[in-house]
Structure 1
Amino acid sequence: MQFTVLGSGAGLPSKKRHTQSYILDAVDETNQYILIDAGEALQHRILHTSIKPSKVRSIFITHLHGDHIYGLPGFLSSRAHQGGEDLPLTIYGPKGLANWLDITFEISGSRLNYPLSIVEVGHKDCIEIDNFKVHVRLLDHNIDSFLYVFKENDKTGALDPDKLKGIGIEPGPLYAEIKKADVFEFNGETYRTSDFTGPDITGRKISVHGDTRVMAEPEYLSLIDRSDVIVHEATYLDGEQEKAHRYFHSEITSVLDNLKNIDYGALLITHLSNRYEDGFLNELAKELPSGVHLTHDFFEHPILRNSQENK
């Protein structure tokens, strides 16, 4: 599994940073990409990667500001001609998303050749997609903006071949049948499969924020605690906490202070204002704690199993 930042800039695009779009690559796990937000020039960003639009089966929109959605109609239209014919796609996002897309497609005369579902989400919803449960949490922005916490389902531990050999079962096709069952019979005896497997493998957890002020509520912090990856905006990087709060955004020092009492594997800082020069960003990056990254367009972060524990 991998998290890719296609667009890392805030508000206005620049020559080096496009606006917000992310890809959660779950191709190895569920044969799909999950797209989170769809900033302007999303299609152009994808052209520089190996991502196949036809394998995007779920899209999550954090909020309806233009820098997070203006690339969506173009992507949906192009997907129809990039192998997406007849392949269903579901978009999750705030109230108003369906109306905006309906009007956009009606006025532009656009037609899709695949089933499109639009699900408008709310605070504390829980969505199930393939191998994930996605928890939705309202953030603190000047319009409804959501946090999406992607929790991969736990996996049953691997079979212990030595234990199975101990009762006379040699490796073979029977192993697959045993793993699928809670109990199995062999030579007239009944056994519990759990007695022959290792510990369950904990699913990975990825917490992706839309635009927001820093939030310190215990319920919110508990929700993102023990994330393998946290993606959080920091539009302000130079100590302007009051300005960040006034404009419903976050400042990096406040973000770090707020998260210091929870556990996480990596913190990806995004939504960076284009007013910061490379020299400033490079110096700031040197001062950040281990595991905290100032992202850029095409930044990639692999999400390994147990990455939080191995921080």
Structure 2
Amino acid sequence: MKLQILGSGAGLPSKNRHTQCIILDLVDEINQYYCVDASEGMQHQMLHTNIKPSKIKNLFITHLHGDHIYGLPGFLSSRDHQGGKDIPLMIYGPKGLKNWLDVTLETSRSHISYPLEIIEVAPNQTFNVDNMTIEVISMQHNIECYGYIFTERTEKGELLVSKLRDIGITPGPIYKEIKESNTFLHDGKVYDTNDFLGPEKIGRKVIIHGDTRVITDNDYKEKLDGADIIVHESTYLDGEIEKAHQYHHSELSEVLSNFKSIDFGRLLITHISNRYESDDLILIQERYRDECIFASDFMEITIPRKS
């Protein structure tokens, strides 16, 4: 599992940053990608990666501001001709997304040959997709906006083959049957399967925010606790907290302060304003290098399993 950043900028694209588009790479786990937000030019960004549009089968929209959705109609049309024919796509997002897409696709006479389902989500909604439980959390923005908590299903540990051999069970289809059972019978004795399994593979937890002010609510922070990685916007990096509040965005020092009370792995800062030149960012990154990672276009971050 890893994150791939196709767009790390805020509002307006710049020469170095497209606007927000994040890929959760689950190819090794379930042979597909999840995509969060669909910024303008996302399909062009994909051309610089190994991402296959047909392997994006679930797409999550945080909110309906243009810098998060303007790439969606083009992507949907292109996917049709890039191996996506007949491969279903589910899109999740706020109320109004379906109407906007229906009008856009009809007006442009865009033909979609694959099954397309649009699910308009609600706060605190939880649903299961593939090997993930996904929870929708409300953001504090100037329009309806969400974040998504992706929690991977915990899996049984590896079968301890040597222990099975010790009691006289040789490799074969029986191994699969044993792993899928709670107990098994051998030579007239009942065994507990857990005694023949290694440690559980704890599911990973990835949290991707939409645009938001810093949320200080304890219930919200409890949901973030234990995350392997949190992706949070920081449109403002240099102390302009009042301006961040005014425009319903976040400022870096306030984000860092807010998360001091929770336990998590890494913090990835994205949705960075194009006001910051390369020299500015180098200084800011150096100052906060022990506290967070700053996203850049085409960055990849591996999310290992918990030991």
User: How much does 1:261 deviate?
Assistant: 1.4
Q: What residue in structure 2 maps to residue 175 of structure 1?
A: 175
- Extract unaligned runs of 5+ from structure 2: none
CA distance, structure 1, for counterparts of residue 265 and residue 289 of structure 2? 12
- Do the aligned partners of 2:184 and 2:193 also contact (CA within 8 Å) in 1? yes
User: How much does 1:160 deviate?
Assistant: 2.1
SS in structure 2 of the partner of residue 259 of structure 1:
helix
Count of aligned pairs between the two proteins: 307
CA distance, structure 2, for counterparts of residue 199 and residue 219 of structure 1? 30
- Provide, for residues 46-99 of structure 1, a one-character-per-residue CA deviation record: whole Å limited to 9, x for no partner: 000000000000000000000000000000000000000000000000000000
CA distance, structure 2, for counterparts of residue 201 and residue 83 of structure 1? 33
Q: What residue in structure 2 maps to residue 78 of structure 1?
A: 78
User: How much does 1:291 deviate?
Assistant: 5.6
User: How much does 1:289 deviate?
Assistant: 4.4
Q: What residue in structure 2 maps to residue 49 of structure 1?
A: 49
User: How much does 1:103 deviate?
Assistant: 0.4
- Do the aligned partners of 1:265 and 1:291 also contact (CA within 8 Å) in 2? no
CA distance, structure 2, for counterparts of residue 173 and residue 161 of structure 1? 13
SS in structure 2 of the partner of residue 190 of structure 1:
strand
- Extract unaligned runs of 5+ from structure 1: none
CA distance, structure 1, for counterparts of residue 54 and residue 226 of structure 2? 32
User: How much does 1:149 deviate?
Assistant: 0.3
TM-score (norm 1): 0.96
SS in structure 1 of the partner of residue 285 of structure 2:
helix
- Do the aligned partners of 1:234 and 1:271 also contact (CA within 8 Å) in 2? yes
Q: What residue in structure 2 maps to residue 15 of structure 1?
A: 15
Q: What residue in structure 2 maps to residue 302 of structure 1?
A: 302
Is 103-112 or 159-168 further displaced after alignment?
A: 159-168
Q: What residue in structure 1 maps to residue 94 of structure 2?
A: 94
1:63 partner amino acid? H
CA distance, structure 2, for counterparts of residue 165 and residue 7 of structure 1? 51
4+ residue runs of structure 1 moved beyond 3 angstroms? 170-173
- Provide, for residues 117-145 of structure 1, a one-character-per-residue CA deviation record: whole Å limited to 9, x for no partner: 00000000002110000010111000011
Q: What residue in structure 1 maps to residue 261 of structure 2?
A: 261
- Provide, for residues 227-280 of structure 1, a one-character-per-residue CA deviation record: whole Å limited to 9, x for no partner: 111000000001001110111000000000001111111111000000101111
Aligned sequence identity (%):
55
SS in structure 2 of the partner of residue 29 of structure 1:
helix
Residues 272-311 of structure 1: matches in 2 within 5 Å? 272-290=272-290, 292-306=292-306
